[in-house]
Amino acid sequence: MRTDRTRTARLLLVLALSVTGAGAAAGCGQAEADGGRPTPPARDDDRARRVADAWDGSRAAARWHEGYHPVEAVVQPPAEGLRGDDRRAYVTGNFDLRAPLPPARDKSGRVTWQDGGSLTRPLMAADRVYRTLDRNSGPGPRLTVTRAELGSMTVLTARGPTTVPAWLFTLEGYAGPLKSAAVSPSAPPEPPIGPLRPDVPTDVLAPLGGLTTVARDGRSVTVVAQHGSCDDGPVVSAHETEGSVVLSAAVTGAEDGPCTTELLGERVTVKLDRPVGDRIVLDAFTGRPVPYTEWPGAAPGRS
């Protein structure tokens, strides 16, 4: 069965919004949704091979590896965790500032990987970073910031763990600080291959909504895959090479005839033949790296 062009256009719009905020031994990983149901591989592996061939060894791949691309949240609550209503205040962005925000002494900060590589990125001022946290002036519980200072934090990136400059905000009632990265991600490189046409049916291939998690052992990735209200849900498969992991998403059980335009997202975990390592995670539909997302937006942060 084929889905209509309207649903495909809506999927493209969602992906475009998420990106703007942002060889050759091949294998085929297996995917399963959060509910644990097994799924078959996606249906256009030839496209996945073309995407891998275009990226592997390319200048775009080299530029990607040179950049700072987080694959986890760049805001970390206190290590002891938030309690009760404080969690709600954090999610809704209700903060009170009871201390001056210090100026940044330097205009740039150094991003340093565990493998010894490093990169210089513009340093964001404390007030700019604080505004990404304090997004709500409405009623409800609030978190009170009593101090801010420049420090560092560890963030998982596309090339492994890295130490980045961070603003450390002391919260009333907590021993450890809330940490928020003080540098923004690098701009993605121009891809060496273009996206598919927007009229490709979503039960053949569809764009992904973003990358939410890379397992600590690197043996699986979790992505957001979209689908409609008149199908059986999304499936995602992986085409693995030495340099990349190309994910192909599609919907199954699509019905012909009238259907609402409701767009649903679902987390899908894809198991890999070997750890991701420093391989680039790519979207077969767009031909681009899959951007990190905090879907469904349950916490403040920046991509």
The tens digit of pLDDT for each residue in 191-233 reads 999 999 988 887 789 899 999 999 989 999 999 988 665 667 7
Shared-domain flag, residues 98 and 169:
yes
Model confidence pLDDT, tens digit, residues 51-67: 999 999 999 999 999 99
Q: Residue 13 domain-assigned? A: yes
Give the CA distances from residue 231 to residues 13, 235, 250, 260, 285, in Å, rounded to whole numbers and listed in that order. Answer: 20, 11, 11, 11, 19
Range from 146-150, 219-223, 255-259, 265-269 carrying the lowest mean pLDDT: 255-259
Q: Are 187 and 68 in contact (CB under 8 A)?
A: no
User: What DSSP line would sit under 133-190, residue for residue?
Assistant: H----SSS--EEEEEEEEEEEEEEETTEEEEEEEEEEEETT-SSPEEEESBPPPPPPP
Q: Residue 303 domain-assigned? A: no
pLDDT over threshold 50, residue 38: no
pLDDT over threshold 80, residue 186: yes
pLDDT over threshold 80, residue 23: no
**Measuring CA to CA, which residue among 184, 151, 195 is closest to residue 8?**
195
Total domains in the fold of the chain: 2
Please identify, among 131, 152, 181, the residue that sits at the C-terminal boundary of a domain: 181
Query: Which DSSP letter does residue 38 get?
Result: B
Cα–Cα dist 248/47, whole Å: 9
Cα–Cα dist 91/71, whole Å: 20
Model confidence pLDDT, tens digit, residues 1-13: 344 433 444 444 3
User: What sign does the dihedral 220-75-208-279 (CA atoms) show?
Assistant: negative
The band of 84, judged by pLDDT with boundaries at 50, 70 and 90, is very high
Q: Residue 53 domain-assigned? A: yes
pLDDT over threshold 90, residue 252: no
Please report, rounded to a whole number, the percentage of residues in the chain having pLDDT higher than 70: 77
> How much is the average pLDDT of 11-38?
40
Query: Taking the CA of residue 66 as centre, how many other CA atoms within 13 Å lie in the half-sphere pointing to its CB?
Result: 10
**Measuring CA to CA, which residue among 291, 273, 255 is closest to residue 64?**
291
Range from 20-29, 93-102, 205-214, 229-238 carrying the lowest mean pLDDT: 20-29
Domain that holds residue 243: 5-67+189-283
Query: pTM of whole model > 0.85?
Result: no
pLDDT over threshold 70, residue 18: no
Shared-domain flag, residues 238 and 255:
yes
Shared-domain flag, residues 169 and 200:
no
The band of 187, judged by pLDDT with boundaries at 50, 70 and 90, is very high
Shared-domain flag, residues 245 and 173:
no
In angstroms, the first-to-last Cα distance of the chain is: 36
